[in-house]
Structure 1
Amino acid sequence: MTTQTVARRLVELCRAGQFEQAQQELFDEDAVSIEPEAVPDGILSDETGLPAIRAKGRRFWGGVEAFHSVRCTEPVIAGNWFSIALNVEATFRSIGRITIRELCVYRVEDGKIVREQFFYDEYEP
């Protein structure tokens, strides 16, 4: 798959709230996931390898009681890189309703995502 094909499929799956399917379908087995430097270790930590990335996703999204909205921009593509802005409103069992606004940057090699990096401030209640 081309970077554009991967990017469009990721957007489609994110808009449907199918984050784990996106990881399984589009990520390389040795992919790397990077959180902002200010994020303390815990549920959201840097991970290497698809099993660890999927486990991080399950830890985070598993706490959702209800999704209220998932919005995702069209991808901006530059060579093997693409980015999207992701906005999610969800109610989490542990913290209540929050809005997540983040910029997500991806690198594609041989038709698979090999790196994802997230940029965001604290989540808003």
Structure 2
Amino acid sequence: MTTMDIAKEIAALCRQGKNQEAIDRFYSPNIESVETCAMPGMDQIQRGLQAIKGKNQWWVENHEVHGGTVEGPYPNGDRFILHFKYDVTPKQTGKRITLDETGLYTVQDGKIMKEEFFYSM
């Protein structure tokens, strides 16, 4: 698969709320994930597929998702960007918010090797 093929597949899965399936299908065992800031109890940079799955599980368990959109992909060589906008309620605060986030993904040997997230603080 080309980088664009992978990007389109990941975007389609995320639009369907199947983010975990995207991770299972397209992420390298040696994935590196970089957040704008560390999530509670985690490092800002997570390494390895199990760490990324754990981070995703934490997010699912700690947020109620009311809806969202995924824009893109926007490709450039071995990388692509997806733009996410989610209507969520963090369970810790109970306050409904809009999460506006951009993800930059790097592909190597047909797998996502790195993901980097950017969002307003």
Q: Which TM-score applies when normalising by structure 1?
A: 0.88
SS of match in other structure, 1:22? helix
Q: Does 1:108 align with 2:107?
A: yes
Within 5 Å, which residues of 2 pair with 1:1-125? 1-36=1-36, 39-40=37-38, 42=40, 45-65=44-64, 67-96=65-94, 97-122=96-121
SS of match in other structure, 1:42? coil
Question: Which letter maps to 2:19?
Answer: F
Runs of 4+ in 1 over 6 A off after TM superposition: none
Q: Give me the identity figure in percent.
A: 31
Contact 1:43/1:59 (8 A) holds in 2 = no
Q: Following TM superposition, by how much is the alpha carbon of 1:41 offset from its aligned partner in structure 2, in angstroms? A: 5.2
* Alpha-carbon distance in structure 1 between the residues aligned to 2:6 and 2:93: 33
Question: Which letter maps to 1:52?
Answer: A
Contact 2:38/2:45 (8 A) holds in 1 = no
Q: CA RMSD in A?
A: 1.4
C-alpha change, 1:116 and 1:92, in structure 2 (3 Å) is same
Structure 2, unmatched stretches of 5+, are: none
Q: Following TM superposition, by how much is the alpha carbon of 1:98 offset from its aligned partner in structure 2, in angstroms? A: 1.7
* Alpha-carbon distance in structure 2 between the residues aligned to 1:4 and 1:80: 9
- Residues paired across the two proteins, number: 119
Contact 2:31/2:49 (8 A) holds in 1 = yes
Contact 1:43/1:56 (8 A) holds in 2 = no
Q: Which TM-score applies when normalising by structure 2?
A: 0.91
* Alpha-carbon distance in structure 1 between the residues aligned to 2:41 and 2:75: 29
